[in-house]
Amino acid sequence: MTLAAGHGFLSPTGTEIAFLLVGVVTLGAAVITVTTRQLVHAALWLVVALGGIAVEYLLLTAEFIAWVQVLIYVGSVVVLLLFGLMLTKAPIGRSPDADSGNRPAALAVAVAAAAALVWVVVDAFRTTWIDLDGPVQGSTRVTGEMLFRNWVLPFEALSVLLLAALVGAIVLSRKGDSGAEGKR
């Protein structure tokens, strides 16, 4: 009796099992991020969700994209979010303002958006085949050339937007302190 050389759908490899487990943890962290009523906890669960996505990229052997995910999203965006929370004097504990009571409507919109996204992606790539014998498409060189040739302007616009958000948070936090400066 000989064993088949390849593996099929019903015999996943360790990488595929790890991918599935990390995906479940990432999905759980994302759900907790949007359902918690504590803003700081939401930011910390966002770190877990974004870190899980970086691990998924590592499992897909896209190391460059994984490190970009860690540096830009986990490092910069979440730190900016936490600074914004601190500078605007957002409540640390439970916040009654964090829940508007529209959870059923929000859930319906989220499910509809997810279904539409899955349908569009499946429809767009239904007949797409990847040539595994051709040149490597996800290498650092190809990805870098694509980013710096076609996507420089959106990245710069995003950096200006994040800077404006940070400056806006600082201005909002200073408005309440203007009376204290006049008394000195």
* Structural domain contains residue 184: no
* Structural domain contains residue 108: no
11, 73, 90, 97, 98 from 170: Cα distances, Å: 54, 21, 13, 21, 21
Q: Which residue has the higher pLDDT, 3 or 118?
A: 118
Tokens of 52: 């899980």
**Model confidence pLDDT, tens digit, residues 94-105:** 666 666 677 788
Contact 82, 71 (CB under 8 A): no
Q: Which domain holds residue 69?
A: 13-91
**Model confidence pLDDT, tens digit, residues 124-181:** 888 877 666 666 666 677 777 777 788 788 878 888 887 887 788 777 777 665 555 5
* Structural domain contains residue 100: no
Global model pTM greater than 0.75: no
Residue 71 DSSP label: I
Contacts of the segment 158-165: beta carbons below 8 A, 24+ positions apart: 162/76, 162/77, 162/80, 165/80, 165/84
Residue after which a domain boundary falls, among 91, 109, 129:
91
pLDDT at 1: 46
* Structural domain contains residue 128: no
What is the CB-side half-sphere exposure of residue 164 using CA atoms within 13 A? 6
Q: Which residue has the higher pLDDT, 39 or 122?
A: 122
The pLDDT of 86-114, averaged and rounded, is: 75
* Structural domain contains residue 56: yes
Contact 145, 64 (CB under 8 A): no
* Structural domain contains residue 19: yes
The count of other CB atoms within 10 Å of the CB of residue 146 is 11
pLDDT at 184: 46
Q: What is the CATH number of the domain that holds 27?
A: 1.20.120.1200
The count of other CB atoms within 10 Å of the CB of residue 51 is 20
Distance separating alpha carbons of residues 55 and 18, to the nearest angstrom = 10
The count of other CB atoms within 10 Å of the CB of residue 111 is 10
**Are 18 and 87 part of one and the same domain?**
yes
* Structural domain contains residue 133: no
* Structural domain contains residue 118: no
Residue after which a domain boundary falls, among 52, 71, 91:
91
Q: Give the total number of structural domains in the chain.
A: 2
